[in-house]
Structure 1
Amino acid sequence: MLKAVEISKELTAESIRKLVAKNIDAIHVPGFYPSDLSAEFSRRIAGHSDLEAYKVQNALKRLGMGYVDVGKDADNASRYHSEAVRSIWGIRDLVYPRMTPLDHFRLLLEEVWPAGATIQTIDGQKSFVGTCRVIEPGATMLPHNDRLARMLVDGQSGLTGQLAVNVYLDMPPSGGDLELWLSEPTPEQDKIQETSDGLERSELSEPRMVIRPQNGDLVLFNSQLIHCVSPGVGGQRVTMSCFVGYRGDDEPLSYWS
């Protein structure tokens, strides 16, 4: 018999450890970011002239290049790292002098984790953190998982755990739910994702857990497990997101997008 799903409502060192160890299935903090600021930030993101589609999962538009779009290409990697800090500042300017939800999250993460937290470096270069994503109504995504090592040329990241972080700025009236299968892909499924947007839903069972966040909520889950977003109905889905890397309880956490 499958164990019942379990969610923590707090972002603490203990809840992070449990999530990495798969002893809980998600961290969901309602009202992490004020709903009025979420609405204002969402409008500025959705109307931004620099929104562009991902090269994979191209039903998504985003501000800030995600490392998933580097694709082991040296020119893409150069662009990603050269724009990283400038892109963080540019997104921060959208709500200045207020704090973005990811800046708030980064401060809390550094404070609650005993060894602290810092921006992920790749080949000695800083990564971007804080992708703002817009999914249009009806857009269909494929189930997938996210694993930094799969995106690196040498296939080695040094991470023993990876979490996905989302702050929900605007949710559609229905749909746009976070779907979690709570299982890792097979080696064959992992290989498929090197050249595709994800896995065929028809080849998977039903997700074991569905989370319906509200505007301003924070959700963390294990990104190495299969997950997806259901099509939204009646409005856009706007989030700000990053990943968190784990190397051990006594090591600093890292974050990137």
Structure 2
Amino acid sequence: MAETVVDQDISSNASPIFTLFDSETADELTRDHILRLAVGVLGAVRIRGFSSPEECAAIMEGLDRREFGEYDQNLIFPPIAKIGPAAYDYYGAHTLTDAYWQDADEARRLRSKLYGGNDPMDVAVARVARGWGGEVEPARSRGREMFAGMIREIANGAKLHFDEIVREFPGIVDETPASFLTLNWYLSMPEEGGETRVYRRRWRPADEIHRDGYGYDEKVVEDEPVAVASPQTGDVVIFDSRNLHAVNAIGGEGRRVSLSFFLGVTGRGPLQIWS
């Protein structure tokens, strides 16, 4: 049920104004979900059972034999463990360096055998393409296919932040998407905590006075509508990454591990993916 922002006088001819920023749960991803997220009339969508518990257990068993790296703690703290490069790791170079492409190849190699000798990213892309009803293709940088499908473990939460590659790393993608979404496929979730909070609020230049490391003080989203997604193992959550968002720390037993990538909705029609 949509929530009204303000009460309307019943004698007024004014139309009610709706936030249209709920968190929705569904059993199957559809094109409509992606489009409503892209145009900003849905806060977040959780797809239950994107994968089975058995699939997740098999992938996690493969991950137990792999060593995680992490983001540079000078930039990202509390630490977040990961397998695979993010384009954001290379801001300082103003381009995707040789190290990026080498790290991407190594991550694909490590990931390629995680799921019964196969790459779980192939499973994710196929299921997203089925829901979208169209092509899903890698984004390109200077003609080369960018890496997509980082595996991350977030135990201590993530600060309030936004992700928008064309604003934070201008010129790095060859084709500017019309909208930017984040997809997280949860291979493992803890007993408590680990929720994602997405606010109906995008970055503003004045927010820089509230910067806290890579993120922002949560006072910038006071009184803003929020969509909260509480996934379970095997679920997917998708939201517009330009909206300020944060991750709660985990509690109880278990790990919060996801396979994550961005979805760019293009004017041509295909979805573009990168990490």
Which residue of structure 2 lines up, in the alignment, with residue 134 of structure 1?
153
Task: Decide which moves more: 150-159 or 119-128.
Answer: 150-159
Return the offset for 1:217: 0.3
SS in 2 for 1:142: strand
The 2-side partners of 1:97 and 1:214 are apart by 25
Write the deviation string for residues 28-47 of structure 1: whole angstroms up to 9, x where unpaired. Answer: 11111111221332344355
| Residue 63 of structure 1, aligned match among 83, 91, 94 | 83
Give yes or no for contact 2:141–2:172 (8 Å, CA) kept in 1: no
- Does residue 1:247 correspond to 2:266, yes or no? yes
The 2-side partners of 1:72 and 1:188 are apart by 23
Give yes or no for contact 1:69–1:76 (8 Å, CA) kept in 2: no
- Does residue 1:105 correspond to 2:121, yes or no? no
SS in 2 for 1:216: coil
Give yes or no for contact 1:162–1:222 (8 Å, CA) kept in 2: yes
> Which letter maps to 1:247?
T
List aligned pairs for 1:169-208, cutoff 5 A: 169-189=187-207, 196-205=213-222, 208=226
Which residue of structure 1 lines up, in the alignment, with residue 60 of structure 2?
42
Q: 1:255 to 1:192 in 2, by over 3 A?
A: farther
RMSD (CA atoms): 2.6
List aligned pairs for 1:120-131, cutoff 5 A: 120-131=139-150
SS in 2 for 1:93: coil
- Does residue 1:27 correspond to 2:34, yes or no? no
Return the offset for 1:247: 2.0
Which residue of structure 2 lines up, in the alignment, with residue 88 of structure 1?
108
> Which letter maps to 1:28?
R
Write the deviation string for residues 56-83 of structure 1: whole angstroms up to 9, x where unpaired. Answer: 3342100111112111416863211233
Return the offset for 1:151: 3.5
* Structure whose CA Rg is larger: 2
Aligned residues: 251
Gaps of 5+ in 1: none
The percent of aligned pairs where both chains have the same amino acid is 23
The 1-side partners of 2:194 and 2:25 are apart by 21
The 2-side partners of 1:109 and 1:124 are apart by 24
Give yes or no for contact 1:180–1:209 (8 Å, CA) kept in 2: yes
Q: 1:6 to 1:210 in 2, by over 3 A?
A: closer
Q: 1:152 to 1:169 in 2, by over 3 A?
A: same
TM-score by length of 2: 0.81
The 1-side partners of 2:61 and 2:160 are apart by 27
The 2-side partners of 1:37 and 1:103 are apart by 13
Give yes or no for contact 1:32–1:216 (8 Å, CA) kept in 2: yes
Gaps of 5+ in 2: 6-17
